[in-house]
Amino acid sequence: MTLQNQKANVLAQLQTAFEVELSTIPPYLTALLSMKKHQNRISANLIRSVFMEEMLHMTLVGNLISSLGGKVCLQKQNIPTYPLRLEFEGKRFKDREFDVNLEAFSPQAINIFKQIEMPANFISKTSVQDESPEVEIPGITIGEFYKQIMELLEKMCSKFPESEVFCGNTDDQINERYYWAGGGKPILIHSLETALEALNVIIKQGEGSHDSIFDGDETYFEQPNEIAHYFRFNEIACGRYYQAGDKPKDPPSGEHFEVDYKAVFPIKRNAKSSDYPVGSHLASLNDEFNSQYSLMLFQLAKAFNGNPSILYDAIINGMHNMTSIAHEMMSLRISDSDNVHGAPSFEWIEPIVGI
């Protein structure tokens, strides 16, 4: 197989990885914003910290795509829609049958978040048949998927010079100048070593290592180690912190904290534009949100495809505007006849303003 054919295979896998990372952001953000002001502060901070690191993961995947000479694709056909069903290893698994939803902060939402970030050694491989999914992941977990990509890169570099494999211009990648502090930092990828480092960051921040609940930030970024994503969500599920010495398969044994699932807005699950009456204030707000969301994704694609200076403003301004709109939507009832509130639908609206 030629280098170009092998690269095409890896780049297709990385595009899927990019879409998977993107697909976690709307549900995490929806759960976070559904919390009423000044309530569930600890849970909110835990979800927010995971959300920010998912942005880092998306950036690392984008840098890896660029390093191989590829392009990130962010258009209507590859933007996630919800409920989003995931398929692992070409089939469904008994303890992996779940849809990712846009829904309020709840025990059900936290359980789904744990499923997304679950370590591979937690999973039973008893398979069952099911209908076709929306995203197919060739691994039992997202972490296992990334390990397969690492193996493909290693095989490619064993046959071809690294300078030919990693032929992209590092000036096109996202560096610290265009990123925000906290939760790690971008890695410029120019070799197999730096590629594997970036992928290991994604795996360890999500799942932890095989025998640890921590994410490895101390090793990679000289930042204090934090609990990996799965275990942060499990802290919320248990209402209790992990502490030093806790093992991955044991419940957290640290200090308790309050989790109040009633202190949230009763938003509509997996809201769609069609849920809001034509001409209503909620319909207008939702269109405004979706326009801002789509513009941000359009700008992200530009940033990952050779214009890195766009990234910071796209995220900071985009998220600021989207957050204020979402808060207003979640405070409003869809109709006077029930107590279901609005929520953003995260649907694509073709951006009308270019860069």
Q: How far apart are CA 338 and CA 351, in angstroms?
A: 34
Sign of CA dihedral 33, 35, 39, 42: negative
Sign of CA dihedral 120, 85, 23, 78: positive
pLDDT at 10: 96
329-to-33, 67, 264, 286, 343 alpha-carbon distances in Å = 10, 40, 13, 8, 6
pLDDT at 336: 86
Residues in Cβ contact with 59 at an 8 Å cutoff, skipping those fewer than 6 apart: 174, 179, 186, 304, 311
Q: How far apart are CA 332 and CA 314, in angstroms?
A: 27
Q: Tell me, what amino acid is at 137?
A: I
234-to-23, 117, 134 alpha-carbon distances in Å = 20, 10, 26
Strand (E) or helix (H) holding 84: strand 84-88
Write out the residue limits of the CATH 1.20.1260.10 domain(s) in the chain. 3-238
Q: Is the pLDDT of residue 136 over 80?
A: no
Q: How far apart are CA 64 and CA 62, in angstroms?
A: 5
3-to-7, 71, 77, 162 alpha-carbon distances in Å = 6, 17, 28, 11
pLDDT at 314: 84
Using one digit for the tens of pLDDT, what is the confidence trace for 120-131?
A: 778 765 544 444
pLDDT at 316: 83
CA torsion, points 114, 199, 308, 72, in degrees to nearest 10? -80
Sort 209 into a burial class: Cβ within 10 Å, 0-12 / 13-18 / 19+.
middle
Tokens of 7: 């690269």
Q: Please count the helices (runs of H) and the strands (runs of E) in the chain.
A: 10, 5
pLDDT at 182: 57
pLDDT at 13: 94
pLDDT at 224: 66
Q: Is the pLDDT of residue 133 over 50?
A: no
Q: Tell me, what amino acid is at 290?
A: N
Q: How far apart are CA 169 and CA 308, in angstroms?
A: 12
Is the distance from CB of 187 to CB of 201 less than 8 angstroms? Answer: yes
Is the distance from CB of 142 to CB of 206 less than 8 angstroms? Answer: yes
Using one digit for the tens of pLDDT, what is the confidence trace for 140-158?
A: 788 889 999 999 999 999 9
Q: Where are the alpha helices (DSSP H) in the chain?
A: 3-33, 41-67, 107-117, 142-159, 162-165, 192-207, 217-221, 229-238, 281-304, 310-330
CB atoms within 10 A of CB 339: 10
Using one digit for the tens of pLDDT, what is the confidence trace for 43-101?
A: 999 999 999 899 999 999 999 999 999 999 988 888 999 999 866 665 444 555 678 99
Q: Mean per-residue pLDDT for 108-114? A: 95
pLDDT at 342: 98
Q: Tell me, what amino acid is at 252?
A: P
Out of 26-30, 85-89, 328-332, pick the least confident.
85-89
Tokens of 194: 């730096």
Query: What is the model's pTM?
Result: 0.91
Q: Which of 82, 75, 21, 55 is nearest to 343 (CA)?
A: 82
DSSP string, 168-200: S-GGGS--GGGS-SSS-------SHHHHHHHHH
Is the distance from CB of 216 to CB of 209 less than 8 angstroms? Answer: yes
Q: Dihedrals φ, ψ of 273, to 5°?
A: -55, -35
Looking at the chain, the whole-number percentage of residues with pLDDT higher than 70 is: 87
CATH number, domain 3-238, options 1.20.1260.10, 3.40.50.720, 3.20.20.60, 3.30.950.10: 1.20.1260.10
DSSP string, 4-38: HHHHHHHHHHHHHHHHHHHHHHHHHHHHHHTBPTT
Using one digit for the tens of pLDDT, what is the confidence trace for 215-238?
A: 655 554 455 678 999 999 999 999
CA atoms within 13 A on the CB side of 217: 20
